[in-house]
């Protein structure tokens, strides 16, 4: 897979962070997250990301993309975490775009990928279902082919960004509960499609989606065969999980820096809090946790780009480590800020919430630890 | 004493049954409905319930009889808390009964006792705590709010912060600086301030919960009668420390811990992974068992401190700090287990559902919004009432002599 050179990556990292630093401060964040229109993100911002090439960073060049890989996506997601970007990057450029690129028909790829790169198509990934938790194969939504259409019935759990997506990427079993898993492009606004829009913990929004006899054209299916897409969905979720880790890495770096600065200036007992050894060690632990996560996430991104045989386990291990780090760093950021960390007026609490979401998005640490354990046991038996 | 006589006591069982029957009969239907839905109470709703408890003397049951209490044993107070929690009653409020009251009956004048204790017993007054300031958090004795004596009044200027429920309070017990030239612990006085006094402004602080619980309180030439001072001028730190030890014990609410555990159990029943309830997952079962052990330990530490308070007039320095430390760690651990379940529903935070009149559609189990709110709110448990770091310093210096 074509990827950027080290210099190009550095340039991408610097330019994304510089843009967000200048244009996406906490005040702007508050206005977008709490905006009257309840979208919880900025359409203007989205258009700018398209112009800057971020939305197509991992799309093929023929679709107007930059031809980058997971590492490049990781760089964008880390910056998004650092600046608490609200726009639906995960659902659109990490999950949705990849589903279309990997499984779509030629027509779907040719029409949709360019729309994504130019910011004219927002996607949300609707796979998990209420009884399934983090399980990846738990799909009871059914798509029955009736004449020249698919009829969809079922229910999907809360998906970030679903409230504002143009198109939902929906998994459903073909014909029956025992049928193969397919993916469908479902317009958000359509007969038989009902959304329950709600805020997520971190200020972003999303929706649960239910389908009651929703009628889709035959070409709404991603790809045109009946093959089972479970393995592909599994890889897709791995991409999402590592992107959430990258996001957490950016958020951890930002909140650790803010905490160090605060302890250097906050005077108690006649000196800055940063002079207390017990607090110095805590800051060290926060920094080291962030570094560990950054290192293991980088390694997993590289493994995915290299299509290394251990890539999947590298992602799972990264999610376990990052989830732990996110919980510790986010919690300590509040603890060391004291009451200040508990207010809605400061960014610290919002970073905590963002990290809590990153920790659980597409599977928490405990979930991946179990998967790693099961995989190791299977290896031992084989 | 290493072993406590914790024999099963028939009198205590009778008392428990009485509390249960009282709750069934007396919790106002509106309060019960909101409690069951995890919704927040308005002041008048809360007040109506607390007044009913107050009419029985139960808010201050553990106070000595000579001060209007019922002289409850520690076991009886714990039993009371447990039965309230199990009946779905709202949590007790500690500012009057646990914090202000004992300071007043221990250090107050006869006039102060007459004036304030009765209204605490019956919940006719709501109290708030004027301790923390923008520049005085962990270093509480660094407080700067100034009280200057003019005749038989103090004129108070300054600011308090993180004042829980100041917007509901009738009275504040406050630490103020009366001698700016003395060593910092030695120039502090303890005042009882009427919140309706001219010159007081209460400004809300919205928390990460998105709820209003905390406030800033500003004082501008507020006149406080000298007769509202507890004990001697410039000796306020002594009373402040006495109150802090009680606060540490009061910060741990075993009934609330039990209630959280019940909520989390129900959340784990209602949350499925691959079609199977998380409650059946051995990893979650183990965590619940860990929480049970934690709860039993905290209850035992609590019983010790209640016994010490009854025998010596105050809990022990180390015991109260240890209880606060472990009790607040436990509360966070229990709620973390809840959060781990909620991730499976997408970590939706429908905070509007916590208010009566919301008619949206809830996502996930019924407890979701309440558990998230409490999780966020209890991030402060290891901060308020002296942070965990401060508790450890107290134990290191005060108890271990380091």
For the segment B329-333, the average pLDDT, to the nearest whole number, is 98
Q: Distance from A41 to chain B by nearest Cα, in Å? A: 17
Give yes or no: residues B181 and B272 share one domain.
Answer: no
> Is position B240 within any domain?
no
Give yes or no: residues B295 and B393 share one domain.
Answer: yes
Burial class (CB in 10 A: 0-12, 13-18, 19+), A44: exposed
Set of chain A residues whose Cβ sits within 8 Å of the Cβ of B345: 130, 157-158
Q: Name residues whose C-beta falls within 8 Å of residue A272's C-beta, 6 or more positions apart in sequence.
A: A263, A264, A265, A266
For the segment A215-228, the average pLDDT, to the nearest whole number, is 95
Q: The domain that contains B326 carries what CATH number? A: 1.20.140.10
Question: Is B266 in a helix, a strand, or coil?
Answer: helix
Give yes or no: residues B229 and B264 share one domain.
Answer: no
Q: The domain that contains B212 carries what CATH number? A: 2.40.110.10
Segment (H or E) for B33: helix B29-37
Question: Residues 306-345, chain B: which have Cβ within 8 Å of A?
Answer: 336, 339-340, 342-345
> Is position B99 within any domain?
no
**Among the three residues B37, B66, B92, which one is the final residue of a domain in this structure?**
B92
Q: Distance from A174 to chain B by nearest Cα, in Å? A: 19
For the segment A159-166, the average pLDDT, to the nearest whole number, is 97
Measuring CA to CA, which residue among B396, B375, B308, B354 is closest to residue B37?
B354
DSSP state of B136: B
Contact present, B103 and B239 (Cβ < 8 Å): yes
> Is position B2 within any domain?
no
Q: Which pLDDT does position A382 carry in this prediction?
A: 66
Report the CATH superfamily, name and number, of domain A125-220.
Butyryl-CoA Dehydrogenase, subunit A, domain 2 (2.40.110.10)
Which one of B45, B83, B133, B247 is the catalytic residue? B247
> Is position B85 within any domain?
yes
DSSP state of B187: G
Give yes or no: residues B227 and B255 share one domain.
Answer: no
Instruction: Count CB atoms within 10 A of the CB of residue A159.
Output: 27
For the segment A34-44, the average pLDDT, to the nearest whole number, is 85
CB–CB contact B348 A137 (8 Å) = no
Task: Tell me which residue in B161, B272, B376 faces A133 most closely, judged by beta carbons.
Answer: B272
CB–CB contact A132 B274 (8 Å) = yes
- Cα–Cα–Cα angle for B366, B371, B373, rounded to 5 degrees: 115
> Is position B105 within any domain?
no
Give yes or no: residues B18 and B65 share one domain.
Answer: yes
Give yes or no: residues B255 and B395 share one domain.
Answer: yes
Residue percentage of chain A with pLDDT more than 90: 95
> What is the tally of structural domains in chain B?
3
Give yes or no: residues B194 and B285 share one domain.
Answer: no
> Is position B107 within any domain?
no
Whether A381 shows a pLDDT value over 80: the answer reads no
Whether B100 shows a pLDDT value over 50: the answer reads yes
Q: Distance from B65 to chain A by nearest Cα, in Å? A: 38
Full domain range(s) for residue B157: 127-234
Write down the pTM of the prediction: 0.96
Give yes or no: residues B214 and B319 share one domain.
Answer: no
Report the CATH superfamily, name and number, of domain A6-121.
Acyl-CoA dehydrogenase/oxidase, N-terminal domain (1.10.540.10)
DSSP state of B40: P
Where does the pLDDT of residue B74 fall: very low under 50, low under 70, confident under 90, or very high at 90 and above? confident
Which of A91, A336, A342 best tests the B interface by mutation, with the highest count of B CBs <10 A?
A342
Q: What is the DSSP track for A192-261? A: TEEEEEEEBTTS-EEEEEEEEEEEEEGGGBSSSS----HHHHHHHHHHHHHHHHHHHHHHHHHHHHHHHH
Contact present, B124 and B111 (Cβ < 8 Å): no
Contact present, A170 and A201 (Cβ < 8 Å): no
Burial A45-80 (b: 16+ CB within 10 A, else e): bbebbbeebbbbbbbbeebbbbbbbbbbbbbbbbbb
The residue of chain B with its CA nearest to that of A350 is: B208
A230-381, CATH topology level: Butyryl-CoA Dehydrogenase, subunit A; domain 3 (1.20.140)
> Is position B246 within any domain?
no
Upper half-sphere CA count for residue B28 (Cβ side, 13 Å): 16
Structure tokens at A182: 């397919």
Set of chain B residues whose Cβ sits within 8 Å of the Cβ of A128: 346
Q: Which pLDDT does position B1 carry in this prediction?
A: 44
**Among A127-131, A198-202, B35-39, B68-72, whose mean pLDDT is lowest?**
B35-39
Question: Is B269 in a helix, a strand, or coil?
Answer: helix
Question: Residues 43-62, chain B: which have Cβ within 8 Å of A?
Answer: none
Give yes or no: residues B283 and B225 share one domain.
Answer: no
Give yes or no: residues B53 and B180 share one domain.
Answer: no
> Is position B122 within any domain?
no
Set of chain A residues whose Cβ sits within 8 Å of the Cβ of B387: 335, 338
The residue of chain A with its CA nearest to that of B162 is: A339
Domains of chain A by residue range: 6-121, 125-220, 230-381
Tens of pLDDT, residue by residue over B21-34, are: 999 999 999 999 99
Burial A237-276 (b: 16+ CB within 10 A, else e): bbbbbbbbbbbbbbbbbbbbebbeebbeebebeeeebbeb
Whether chain A has a CB inside 8 Å of the CB on B282: the answer is: no
Q: Name residues whose C-beta falls within 8 Å of residue A295's C-beta, 6 or more positions apart in sequence.
A: none
Q: Residue B247 catalytic?
A: yes
Where does the pLDDT of residue A207 fall: very low under 50, low under 70, confident under 90, or very high at 90 and above? very high
**Among B2-6, B114-118, B197-201, B385-389, whose mean pLDDT is lowest?**
B2-6
Set of chain B residues whose Cβ sits within 8 Å of the Cβ of A334: 208, 379, 383
Tens of pLDDT, residue by residue over B123-155, are: 999 999 999 999 999 999 999 999 999 999 999
């Amino acid at each position: 897979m074509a990827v950027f050179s080290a210099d190009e990556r550095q340039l991408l990292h610097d330019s994304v962070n510089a843009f967000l630093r200048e244009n996406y401060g906490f005040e702007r964040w508050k206005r977008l997250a709490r905006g009257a229109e309840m979208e919880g993100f900025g359409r203007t911002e989205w258009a700018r990301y398209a112009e800057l090439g971020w939305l197509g960073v991992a799309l093929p060049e023929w679709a107007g993309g930059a031809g980058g890989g997971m590492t490049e996506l990781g760089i964008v997601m880390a910056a998004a975490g650092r600046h608490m970007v609200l726009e639906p990057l995960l659902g659109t450029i990490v999950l949705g775009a990849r589903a279309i690129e990997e499984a779509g028909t030629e027509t779907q790829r040719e029409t949709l990928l360019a729309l994504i790169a130019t910011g004219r198509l927002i996607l949300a990934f609707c796979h998990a279902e209420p009884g399934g938790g983090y399980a990846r194969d738990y799909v009871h939504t059914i798509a029955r082919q009736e004449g020249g259409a698919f009829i969809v019935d079922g229910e999907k759990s809360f998906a970030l960004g679903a409230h504002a997506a143009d198109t939902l990427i929906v998994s459903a079993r073909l014909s029956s509960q025992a049928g193969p898993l397919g993916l469908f492009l479902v317009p958000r606004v359509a007969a038989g499609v009902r959304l329950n829009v709600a805020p997520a913990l971190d200020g972003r929004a999303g929706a649960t989606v239910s389908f009651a006899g929703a009628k889709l054209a035959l070409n709404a299916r991603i790809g045109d065969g009946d093959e089972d897409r479970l393995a592909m969905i599994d890889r897709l979720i791995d991409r999402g999980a590592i992107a959430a880790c990258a996001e957490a890495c950016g958020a951890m770096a930002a909140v650790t820096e803010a905490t160090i600065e605060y302890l250097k200036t906050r005077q108690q007992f006649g000196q800055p809090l940063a002079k207390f050894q017990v607090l110095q060690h805590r800051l060290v632990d926060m920094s080291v946790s962030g570094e560990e996560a950054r290192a293991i996430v980088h390694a997993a991104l590289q493994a995915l780009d290299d299509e290394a045989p251990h890539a999947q386990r590298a992602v799972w291990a990264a999610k376990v480590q990052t989830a732990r780090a996110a919980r510790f760093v986010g919690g300590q950021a509040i603890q060391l800020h004291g009451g200040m960390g508990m207010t809605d007026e400061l960014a610290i609490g919002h970073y905590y919430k963002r990290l809590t979401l990153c920790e659980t998005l597409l599977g928490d640490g405990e979930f991946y630890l179990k998967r790693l354990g099961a995989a190791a046991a299977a290896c031992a038996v084989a | 004493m290493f072993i406590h006589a914790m024999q099963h006591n028939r009198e205590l069982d009778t008392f428990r049954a009485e509390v249960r029957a009282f709750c069934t009969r007396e919790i106002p239907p509106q309060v019960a409905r909101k409690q069951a839905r995890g919704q927040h109470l308005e002041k008048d709703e809360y007040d109506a319930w607390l007044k009913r408890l107050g009419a029985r003397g139960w808010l201050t049951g553990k106070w000595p009889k000579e001060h209007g209490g019922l002289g409850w044993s520690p076991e009886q107070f714990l039993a009371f808390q447990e039965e309230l929690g199990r009946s779905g009653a709202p949590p007790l409020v500690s500012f009057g009964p646990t914090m202000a009251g004992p300071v007043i009956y221990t250090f107050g004048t006869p006039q102060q006792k007459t004036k304030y204790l009765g209204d605490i017993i019956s919940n006719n007054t709501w109290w708030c705590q004027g301790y923390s300031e923008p520049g005085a958090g962990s270093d509480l004795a660094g407080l700067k709010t100034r009280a200057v004596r003019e005749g038989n009044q103090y004129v108070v200027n300054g600011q308090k912060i993180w004042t829980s429920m100041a917007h509901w309070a009738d009275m504040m017990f406050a630490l103020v600086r009366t001698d700016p030239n003395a060593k910092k612990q030695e120039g502090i006085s303890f005042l009882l301030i009427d919140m309706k006094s001219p010159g007081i402004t209460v400004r809300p602080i919205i928390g990460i919960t998105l709820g209003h619980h905390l406030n800033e309180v500003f004082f501008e030439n507020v006149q406080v009668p000298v007769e509202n001072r507890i004990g001697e001028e410039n000796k306020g730190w002594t009373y402040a420390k006495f109150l802090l030890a009680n606060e540490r014990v009061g910060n741990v609410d075993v009934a609330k811990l039990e209630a959280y555990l019940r909520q989390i159990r129900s959340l784990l029943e209602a949350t499925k992974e691959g079609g199977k309830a998380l409650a059946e997952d051995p990893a979650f079962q183990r965590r619940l068992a860990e929480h049970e052990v934690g709860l039993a330990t905290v209850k035992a530490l609590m019983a010790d401190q209640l016994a010490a308070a009854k025998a010596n007039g105050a809990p022990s320095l180390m015991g109260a700090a240890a209880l606060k430390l472990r009790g607040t760690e436990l509360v966070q651990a229990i709620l973390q287990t809840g959060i781990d379940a909620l991730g499976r529903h997408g970590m939706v935070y429908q905070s509007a559902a916590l208010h009566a009149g919301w008619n949206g559609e809830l996502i996930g189990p019924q407890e979701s919004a309440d558990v998230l709110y409490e999780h966020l709110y209890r991030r402060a448990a290891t901060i308020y009432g002296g942070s965990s770091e401060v508790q450890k310093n107290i134990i290191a210096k005060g108890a271990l002599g380091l």
